[in-house]
Every structure is written in structure tokens, then in C-alpha cells.
Amino acid sequence: MPPVPHIAVVDDNREIRELLVRYLGEHGYKVSAAENAAAFRRLMESGMPDLIVLDIMMPGDDGLVLCRELRARFSVPIIFLTAMADDTDRIIGLEMGGDDYLTKPFNPRELLARIKAVMRRTQSMPPIREATQSEKITFGPKSLDVNRREVVGRDGVAIPLSHAEFRLLCVFLERPGVILSRDQLLDLTSGRIAEVWDRSIDNQVSRLRRKIEDDPSQPEFIKTCWGDGYQFTAEVSRS
């Protein structure tokens, strides 16, 4: 039998922790709970979970600090729980490496659906290779070091990418010449459907352009197709 997926719930609200431990447990998951970042770090000593449900607003190190710390070492999927309704705050969470978010108050059934979607997407991705097997993808005069998650430019300088920037660039590199809508890009990078006025993809494209384009105001790689989305126009090769 396949191993039971392990979900960690990190939230300072005891009622939410108890609710999710019970509800997710009833749906076949092994669930561990931590009331803050420090408690989760202790939990990590016995092994990394398969997915983390992470509250943003917590005393001490908040969820964004913990996410940044985890992303420096691990690729574990993270779903943010946030009481903040402002789009900018949620976009920051996604750009820092969150795979999805859910705004409080939330329906546990919706969280369960998002957990399943994120785990399907992440489990379908190929495993990260060792440094000696690092793959490089060339586009125009630049290349992406997949293992290091760095773009090397004409001058040989390596530019590190955030987790979200790396995922977005990989989506473009896998589909050169294809016009991708904002909804498609959001689904391919985050496994979720865009909400009304969700501009997170536009923000991520803008950030990525600043990393890979010589002149982000006149992009040569990621073209805007007005009314349709974005298109990666460079030739792509792998080595």
C-alpha cells in the first residue's frame, strides 16, 4: 500500500488546528499540528511532511518568515491560510514560494480540495536532480541552470530566481511559442483557478522579466499578447 500522506498544520489558533487534525484525519491523512514556527521546527526533526498548511499571521516568526526559511532548503508544498483580504499580501505569499492560499474563514472541504490539487501537481513533477546531473536549458543567449535555479546571462553572471519565478520560467520554457492565458499560467504554476481581478500572474511576469530581460520595458523573451496572455518567443534547447 502507498504511504499515508503527512500534512502539517501550523496555526496559532487551537480551534483551527483541532478542526483540521480531525477533518483531514477522517479523509485518510496523517496530520501533525504546531502552534507556531518554533514548534514546527521541532516537528521537522522527526521528518518533513508531504505538505504544510501554514498560517501567515502568527506570533514570533510569521508564516512568511517560515516559508522563506523552508524554501531555502526544501521544495515541500505550502498552502497559506490568511486572514488578510488584500491581494498584495496574498501575492507576496505566492511569490515567496507558497503553492496556494485560502482566506479565513474557510470551508474545510475547499482546503481538502486544494490539498489534493497541489499534491497531484507536485507529485507529477520530476524529482530534482543532483548537482552533477544538473540540466541547463538555453533560450537565446541565456540559460537556466535547473538544479541551481539560476539564469546565466550574456556576461556569465548567475541571477538567482525565487521559487515562483523559477516555476513560471519553467512553464514558459516547456511551451515556447504557445500563447498562455493568465488563467492557464496560474493553473500551471499554482494549481488554482484565478479569482476575479487576480493579477498575481502579471506581477510574477513583471518580476521575472526584471531577472531575464536586458530591457524589461522592451521584452525579447516574454511577449504580451494583449487580451490573450503571454508568449515565450525564444528558441529553447536542453543540454
pLDDT digits (tens, 9 = 90+) for 132-166: 344 889 999 999 998 888 999 888 889 988 777 88
Q: Which domain holds residue 39?
A: 6-123
The answer to whether 57 touches 83, Cβ cutoff 8 Å, is yes
- Tell me if 1 is assigned to some domain: no
Tens digits of per-residue pLDDT, 195-215? 433 467 888 899 899 999 999
The per-residue pLDDT for 122 is 65
At residue 49, what are phi and psi to the nearest 5 degrees? -70, 170
Residue 130 has pLDDT above 80, yes or no: no
Note whether 77 and 166 are same-domain residues. no
Note whether 180 and 104 are same-domain residues. no
CATH code of 175's domain: 1.10.10.10
- Report the predicted TM-score, pTM, of the whole model to 2 decimal places: 0.62
Number of domains in the chain: 2
Rounded to 10°, the helix 200-212/182-190 angle is 80
Note whether 194 and 223 are same-domain residues. yes
Tens digits of per-residue pLDDT, 1-51? 668 999 999 999 999 999 999 999 999 999 999 999 999 999 998 889 999
Residue 119 has pLDDT above 90, yes or no: no
- Choose one of 104, 123, 142: the last residue of a domain: 123
- Tell me if 189 is assigned to some domain: yes
The Cα–Cα gap between 9 and 15 comes to 12
Rounded to 10°, the helix 87-95/163-174 angle is 70
Task: Tell me 223's DSSP state.
Answer: E
Tens digits of per-residue pLDDT, 69-114? 887 777 788 999 987 665 666 666 766 778 888 888 899 999 999 9
Note whether 81 and 137 are same-domain residues. no
